[in-house]
Amino acid sequence: DTAVSQTPKYLVTQMGNDKSIKCEQNLGHDTMYWYKQDSKKFLKIMFSYNNKELIINETVPNRFSPKSPDKAHLNLHINSLELGDSAVYFCASRAAGTGSYEQYFGPGTRLTVT
Amino acid sequence: GNSVTQMEGPVTLSEEAFLTINCTYTATGYPSLFWYVQYPGEGLQLLLKATKADDKGSNKGFEATYRKETTSFHLEKGSVQVSDSAVYFCALDDRDDKIIFGKGTRLHILP
């Protein structure tokens, strides 16, 4: 069974469109994340939710809005897509609390804005 | 704030060569340290971790030792294989529900 899944795997769209990426984890984790990875492989954290509550909101354009309907799901909605939004977006989850709990990553969604 | 610095790549080695990827960190307290690996077209997966000073994490022939005195967590492997070609990320637990990742080091292994 896939621990952290994302859909779609590839997303090609035009500038100005609105799109969503979905993420689900079946690990029973309380904390979920969205990361953006650019072409140089640099990972930037965007958001973190703990039990449906937003706890990390890095400097991200407000065109990006996360939504967590329940603790197993964290979706990312992007309005008015721009060329610079092209990247790979990763969802991740982690057990609650601090310590040696690693993050589990999804396979990524490659977003291409034309 | 907390940060992780790792050597820039790409690193290109021949099969069976010895590998070292350097990683140093800046942190208050005693963070847990991780190495993640990202194979082409995939997400990141945990390679190994260490939770306290002098701990050695190991997996798949890779090792890293938590050195508090030098604030380092260098990744080593005695004999690399073509299948080890990937991007490697050093990371620390920020103890604030966040993991701080380094910029990644791309590794190419030539047959």
Tell me which of A103, A105, A109, A110 to substitute to probe the interface with B (most B C-beta atoms closer than 10 Å). A103
- Chain A contact for B99 (CB, 8 A cutoff): yes
φ/ψ region of A51 (left if φ > 0, alpha if ψ in -120 to 50, else beta) reads: left
**Tens digits of per-residue pLDDT, B12-34?**
999 999 999 999 999 988 889 99
Task: Specify the pLDDT at position A52.
Answer: 80
Decide if A96 contacts A50 (C-beta within 8 A).
yes
C-alpha angle B60-B99-A46 in degrees, rounded to nearest 5: 120
Decide if A71 contacts A52 (C-beta within 8 A).
yes
CB contact under 8 Å between A107 and B43, yes or no, is yes
End-to-end Cα distance, chain A: 34
Q: Mention every residue, 6+ apart, whose C-beta is less than 8 A from residue B32.
A: A99, A100, B49, B50, B51, B92, B93
Coil, helix or strand for A85?
helix
Task: Specify the pLDDT at position A10.
Answer: 97
Tell me which of A58 and B39 has the higher pLDDT: B39
Please give the Cα distance from A13 to A102 (Å, whole number): 33
For residue A100, pLDDT beyond 70: no
- Measured on CA atoms in the order B80, B82, B87, B91, is the torsion positive or negative? negative
User: Mean pLDDT across the stretch B35-44?
Assistant: 94
Chain A contact set for B99 (CB, 8 A): 94, 102-103
**Tens digits of per-residue pLDDT, A8-54?**
999 999 999 999 999 999 999 989 999 999 988 899 999 998 888 88
